[in-house]
Amino acid sequence: GAGVSQSPSNKVTEKGKDVELRCDPISGHTALYWYRQSLGQGLEFLIYFQGNSAPDKSGLPSDRFSAERTGGSVSTLTIQRTQQEDSAVYLCASSPTSGVPPYFGPGTRLTVL
């Protein structure tokens, strides 16, 4: 399919471990977003990439969180030294430009034990 894909779909890890979440945006989309949804919470903005511009990292909750986007395409969200409060569904989205509603992927459900 031509939609946004994310992997893995589910990830269970132990507290203190590092995890990497992958997002494959729709081909040609220059804008890429990461959000997360914690239990009982709305979606929370994390980080935004637009083309070759510096990413907007203002939503990252701590310095344990980082993200990169290689070659303007695939993005990886890394969480170091995971904590139980990091358990959530992490959603990636992409759009042709920042002025167009984004297409969301199905998400990665992260569980930190």
Partner 1 sequence: GDSVTQMEGPVTLSEEAFLTINCTYTATGYPSLFWYVQYPGEGLQLLLKATKADDKGSNKGFEATYRKETTSFHLEKGSVQVSDSAVYFCAYTNTGFQKLVFGTGTRLLVSP
Q: How far apart are CA 53 and CA 35, in angstroms?
A: 19
Contact 97, 31 (CB under 8 A): yes
40's CB contacts (< 8 A; 6+ apart) are: none
Give the Å distances, CA to CA, from 72 to 25, 29, 97, 109: 10, 9, 13, 24
Binding to partner 1 by residue 25, rule CB under 8 A?
no
Binding to partner 1 by residue 24, rule CB under 8 A?
no
Segment lying near partner 1 (by CB under 8 A), choices 15-23, 60-68, 78-86, 101-109: 101-109
Binding to partner 1 by residue 7, rule CB under 8 A?
no
Residue selected from 18, 45, 68, 113 as contacting partner 1 according to rule CB under 8 A: 45
Binding to partner 1 by residue 67, rule CB under 8 A?
no
Q: Which CB, 53 or 78, lies closer to partner 1? A: 53
Sign of CA dihedral 54, 107, 64, 69: negative
Contact 54, 65 (CB under 8 A): no
Segment lying near partner 1 (by CB under 8 A), choices 11-19, 48-56, 64-72, 75-83: 48-56
Residues binding partner 1 (CB under 8 A):
3-4, 31, 33, 35, 40-45, 48, 50, 56, 59, 91, 93, 95, 98-107
